[in-house]
Amino acid sequence: MAVSMQFLADELEIMKERGLYGTIRTLEGPQGAWVSIEGEKVLNLCSNNYLGLCSHPRLAAKVKEYVDRYGVGPGAVRTIAGTLAPHVELERRLADFKKAEAAILVQSGFCANLAVIPTLAPAAEDVIYSDALNHASIIDACRLSKARVVRYGHSDMEDLRRKLEETRGGTGRKLLVTDGVFSMDGDVARLPEIVDLCEAFGVIVVVDDAHGEGVLGRGGRGIVDHFGLHGRVDVEVGTLSKAFGVMGGVAAGSALLVDYLRQRARPNLFSSALTIPDVAANLASLEILEASDELVRRLWHNGDFLKSELRRLGFNTGHSETPITPVIIGEASDAKTFSARLFEAGVFATAIAFPTVPQGTARIRAMVSAAHSEEDLNYAVKQFAAVGRKMGILP
Ligand SMILES: *Cc1c(COP(=O)(O)O)cnc(C)c1O
């Protein structure tokens, strides 16, 4: 290996010594309530496949139909020759679903933040207010802007108000961005208060609803619907890779906003469009969500069930307000051992430690899905109890 590349081996070795080198597991069949890993069936408590749509037959059928009609690849960026009728159809239907005037599709939720944040607040005189626990894609999107980034304490409205006051005036634009649901704790942004403050201070509001899409609101219409804030949130960023079970990102808002993003957002100008299978599968997910709220209700039922059972056993499940179920263990090494023992017992649930969560709050993050049966969840609870007792975490 070239000397100039020696750092790769050195750094990976250090990561391994510090226990920071992650094992990346391969699923040998479809995503679902149970998955096949290393030839074993394990109960899956890791995925963001909230509604079990990843392997839903209606998605596969729609993909086949659309691939027969439109082929696979878009062939270009949206602005040149890569906008096909299904892209426009999905944008229209996503906007209607979210009761927004318009929506623009991009390649992923990550790209959606890159499309929105540096495009709306690009300049050195601009200010971006960002929650301390915002997702990495928001942090990177902020880095692509020359704006001053002002971090406020996680969901700390007093801190936010103080920072809005300190930065009042100036000639630039101001934009606030927050996760809708914070993925490590499952708490929900205090959006009504954020919107009130931003209206008072003349600040654009962007909410990244990746974990709220298909989860919060009526029939999974998201955080804006959950709080009844239609028309008061400037940009709803969404992800089609979680509850929708596919891939893709979306930004919804006014027709003017979407017109502007189409012309200026760099992921739309310089990276090709979503493929036809992605678009078709997302259309099928949307049809399923529009037809019934049954899956969303089952997801919440499952989340409530798992949380209450684990709490009854004596586990600390934090302050989640959504189906995300953190099981706080404490030390990173204990959380890792816990996860490894669960896996041996047939339960796949990842350990999450510093720097993703604060020191001393390492945890197992259990992600339930509408696809889990009560029997599945009872199995999980039994294994959590057994490992918890063996490790002395439970009495
Ligand atoms: C998962 C997630 C993303 C990334 O979405 P992808 O569609 O997987 O790129 C962006 N923002 C937040 C808050 C997320 O949780």
- Please report the DSSP string for 308-351 in residue order: HHHHHHT-B-TT--SSEEEEEEESHHHHHHHHHHHHHTTEE--E
Ligand 1 neighbourhood includes 210 CB (under 6 angstroms): yes
- Which pLDDT belongs to residue 18? 83
Mutate to test the pocket of ligand 1, among 47, 105, 242 (most ligand atoms within 8 A of CB): 242
Ligand 1 neighbourhood includes 109 CB (under 6 angstroms): yes
pLDDT in tens, 219-266: 999 999 999 999 999 999 999 999 999 999 999 999 999 999 999 999
Catalytic residue among 137, 155, 183, 241: 183
Residue 1 scores a pLDDT above 80: no
Residue 355 scores a pLDDT above 90: no
- Which pLDDT belongs to residue 19? 77
Q: Domain spanning 57-291: which CATH class is it, in words?
A: alpha beta
pLDDT in tens, 153-201: 999 999 999 999 999 999 999 999 999 999 999 999 999 999 999 999 9
Q: Domain limits of the chain?
A: 20-49+293-390, 57-291
20-49+293-390 homologous superfamily: Aspartate Aminotransferase, domain 1 (3.90.1150.10)
For residue 242, give Cα distances in angstroms to 56, 260, 367, 390, 392.
14, 27, 11, 34, 34
For residue 249, give Cα distances in angstroms to 167, 199, 256.
31, 26, 19
Average pLDDT over residues 316-333: 95
Q: For ligand 1, atom 1, name the residue with the nearest CA.
A: 210
- Which pLDDT belongs to residue 251? 98
Catalytic residue among 87, 135, 242, 307: 242
Question: Which atom of ligand 1 lies nearest, measured to the CA of 111?
Answer: 9
CA of 314 relative to ligand 1 center, distance in Å: 32
- List of long-range contacts for 337-345, beta carbons under 8 Å, 24+ apart: 337/391, 338/364, 338/387, 338/388, 338/391, 338/393, 339/364, 341/387, 341/390, 341/391, 342/383, 342/384, 342/387, 343/42, 345/383, 345/386, 345/387
- Which pLDDT belongs to residue 231? 95
φ/ψ of 36, rounded to 5, equals -105, 120
CA of 286 relative to ligand 1 center, distance in Å: 18
Residue 389 scores a pLDDT above 80: yes
- Which pLDDT belongs to residue 356? 87
Question: Which atom of ligand 1 lies nearest, measured to the CA of 247?
Answer: 7
The strand ranges marked E within 61-126 are: 102-106
Per the annotation, the verdict on 390 as an active-site residue is: no
Backbone angle region of 219, left / alpha / beta, with phi > 0 → left and psi within -120 to 50 → alpha: left
Per the annotation, the verdict on 372 as an active-site residue is: no
Residue 379 scores a pLDDT above 80: yes
